[in-house]
Structures are given as C-alpha cells and as structure tokens.
C-alpha cells in the first residue's frame, strides 16, 4: 500500500523531530488556476501544496530560519520530486 505525500511528510517529520503536535494540510486545491513558470495552469489536483503545523522540543533554542532549514532538509526528496509549495508553522515546546 502506497502512502500519500501528506502521510510521507508526517512520518518523516515524526521520525526526525518527535513532535508533540503535528498537522499536515494539503492546500493543493487552493491553487487551482495558478500559472507555473513553464506556462502551464495548475488544475488543483495532486499533492503539491502543503502547510505543516508542528510543535517539538527539538526546536528549542533554534531560530525560525534554522527550524525551516531543518524541516526542508528532512523533506528534501519530496521537495525535489513534486512538492511545489511548503508553508511551515513551527513552534518549540
């Protein structure tokens, strides 16, 4: 059984940061009709635009930019192979 992109994101972030709270929201449908750099219009289908809400002790003492870099590093493969946008709302416990 294959996982959705959202499930993969959640699993990877849970493994990396052991968050006390995590929510992955697929916002792809909100971007229907947007035009990409290649001139194609996005139809809003697929899993390409996400919002991540995460709270973890692992972020304590980290600057926001460093938290975002850490999350992007964990999701490097997904960002290189299909995710077009990733909004991050991260907090330390």
pLDDT in tens, 42-79: 444 567 889 999 999 999 999 999 999 999 999 999 99
Please, which residues have CB within 8 angstroms of residue 9's CB and are 6 or more apart in sequence? Answer: 24, 50, 52, 75, 78
Residue ranges of the domains in the chain?
A: 5-32+53-92
pLDDT in tens, 3-49: 799 999 999 999 999 999 999 998 886 655 445 556 655 444 567 88
Classify domain 5-32+53-92 at the CATH superfamily level: BolA-like (3.30.300.90)
User: Taken in order 36, 46, 52, 58, is the CA torsion positive or negative?
Assistant: negative
Report whether 85 contacts 31 (CB < 8 A): yes
């Amino acid at each position: 059984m294959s996982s959705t992109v959202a499930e993969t994101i959640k699993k990877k972030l849970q493994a990396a940061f052991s968050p006390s709270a995590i929510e992955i929201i697929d916002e792809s449908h909100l971007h229907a009709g947007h035009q990409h750099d290649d001139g194609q219009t996005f139809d809003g289908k697929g899993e390409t635009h996400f919002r991540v809400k995460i709270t973890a002790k692992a972020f304590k003492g980290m600057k926001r930019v460093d938290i975002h870099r850490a999350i992007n590093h964990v999701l490097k493969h997904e960002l290189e192979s299909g995710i077009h946008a990733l909004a991050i709302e991260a907090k330390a416990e």
